[in-house]
Each structure stands twice: as C-alpha cells, then as structure tokens.
Amino acid sequence: MHRVWWERLNDFWMLRWHYERGDTRADRQFPAASALAVWWTREYDAVCDAFVR
C-alpha cells in the first residue's frame, strides 16, 4: 500500500506531458489527481486499513 501511495506522490506524468511535450490533453485530470494525493495522505492510515482487511 505504501508503495502505491509513494508512486502516486511522485508520478508527474501529467506535468511532463504539459511542459515537455506541450500536450494539454491531461490538464483537466491534474486537479483531481492532486486532490486525491492530498486526501490519501491525510487519510493514509484509514486507506491502509481498508486495503489490509
């Protein structure tokens, strides 16, 4: 579980597409992905418990 959370925190593919490729197709996904990372970090223990059960 921790590994998946860590990968999400360090996954910048949307930003790379935007800035390195000039591809804006994923721009609309960025706010939701960012919000999910914030929520998941805030609720980390509860999320881990849910996946362990």
With b meaning 16 or more CB within 10 Å and e meaning fewer, what string describes 16-44? Answer: ebbeeeeeeeeeeeeeeeeeeeeebeeee
- Digit-coded pLDDT (tens) for 9-33: 999 999 999 999 999 999 999 999 9
Q: What is the pTM of this model?
A: 0.75
Residue 31 confidence (pLDDT):
96
**Cα separation of 11 and 3, whole Å?**
12
Q: How far is CA 24 from the centre of its chain?
A: 18
* Cβ–Cβ < 8 Å for 2, 31: no
Q: What is the CA radius of gyration of the chain?
A: 13
